[in-house]
């Protein structure tokens, strides 16, 4: 039976020196969540290696690598859905920024490869080119849960409203976004974009970021966030490591869509958004 709420645990993680240490640290953080207190756990973007484009190929793993196996086991142990943030995934001679999702039995039920690569050069601010080492994915990703249909994208994908809308057209009521905005884009656009996509699509948006590491070459803004279909900020962390559980009232989605029916009022006689074959 579907419930009308879903409880999401946002894990704003401080990465450790090795993957093994990070796995152990994630387990320790998850252990602070009481049994049965969360329905879905969510990790940040690129949590198992440095957020440096030149290093992505170094710590990339095949789909059946140790990080995926760790995530699958954790979902099964806690009997929860798990959005495993994202990691560098290797397939042949290509490397992708990939998010895996598992059901409470530890079965892989969704996989999203970041579609829009983060290539920016802001004067006096951040310069970063993921395309130096990463390849883009080509799929819009949604997955079923016993609670509702959930959409998934990664970080820079959020800036492209077409992608969020396509997940809604596929039935999503919640959009999960593992992300790692930086000290240039974070203060300017982090909250703005999560609230905008929530209002545009009348869905919940959930962004989980790494904790800020002052010694890292790439400084994460942090500030993991949850926004409502009305654009309210329901939860937002600071830059430090932490865990927060937020309960989402799924009936609120239909209430907002009924009150302001923008999704029904689209002028499909004039314009249309559709996937290419």
Q: Examine the pLDDT at 1 and tell me if it is beyond 50.
A: no
Question: Residue 128: its pLDDT value, please?
Answer: 77
**Residues 149-158: tens digit of each pLDDT:** 999 999 999 9
Question: Residue 234: its pLDDT value, please?
Answer: 98
* Helices and strands in the chain: count of H runs, count of E runs: 6, 15
**For the domain with range 5-259, which CATH number is right: 1.10.3720.10, 3.30.365.10, 3.60.110.10, 3.40.50.170?**
3.60.110.10
Q: Kindly report the pTM of this predicted structure.
A: 0.96
What are the structural domain ranges in the chain?
5-259
DSSP per position, 226-253 = EE-TTS-EEEE--SS-EEEEEEEETHHH
Mean pLDDT in residue range 191-203: 98
Active site residues: 45, 114, 155
**Angle, to 10 degrees, between the axis of helix 161-169 and the axis of helix 185-201?**
30
**Ranges of H-type helices in 9-121:** 19-30, 56-59, 66-78
Higher pLDDT, 195 or 52: 195
The whole-angstrom separation of Cα 60 and Cα 91 is: 9
Mean pLDDT in residue range 194-203: 98
Question: Residue 250: its pLDDT value, please?
Answer: 98
Question: Residue 120: its pLDDT value, please?
Answer: 74
Contacts of 225 (CB under 8 A, 6+ apart): 190, 191, 194, 205, 206, 207, 233, 235, 236, 237
Question: Residue 123: its pLDDT value, please?
Answer: 75
């Amino acid at each position: 039976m579907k419930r009308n709420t879903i409880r999401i645990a946002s894990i704003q993680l401080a990465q450790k020196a090795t993957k093994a240490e990070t796995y152990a640290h994630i387990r320790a953080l998850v252990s602070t969540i009481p049994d049965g207190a969360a329905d879905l756990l969510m990790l940040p973007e690129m949590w198992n290696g440095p957020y440096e484009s030149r290093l992505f190929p170094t710590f990339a793993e095949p789909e059946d690598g140790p990080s995926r196996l760790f995530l699958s086991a954790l979902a099964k142990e806690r009997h929860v859905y798990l959005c495993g943030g994202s990691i560098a995934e290797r397939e042949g001679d290509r490397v992708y920024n990939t998010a895996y999702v598992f059901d409470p039995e530890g079965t892989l039920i969704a996989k999203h490869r970041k579609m829009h690569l983060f290539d920016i050069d802001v004067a006096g601010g951040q310069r970063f080119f993921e395309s130096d080492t990463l390849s883009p994915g080509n799929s819009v990703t949604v997955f079923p849960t016993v609670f509702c249909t959930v959409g998934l994208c990664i970080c820079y994908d959020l800036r492209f409203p077409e992608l969020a809308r396509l997940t809604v057209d596929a039935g999503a009521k919640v959009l999960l976004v593992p992300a790692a905005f930086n000290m240039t884009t974070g203060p300017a656009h982090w909250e703005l974009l999560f609230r905008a996509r929530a209002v545009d699509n009348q869905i919940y948006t959930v962004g989980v970021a790494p904790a800020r590491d002052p010694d890292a070459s790439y400084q994460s803004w942090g500030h993991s966030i949850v926004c409502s279909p009305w654009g309210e900020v329901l939860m937002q962390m600071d830059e430090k490591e932490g865990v927060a559980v937020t309960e989402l009232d799924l009936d609120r989605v239909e209430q907002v869509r009924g009150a302001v029916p923008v999704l029904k009022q689209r002028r499909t006689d004039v314009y249309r958004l559709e996937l290419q074959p």
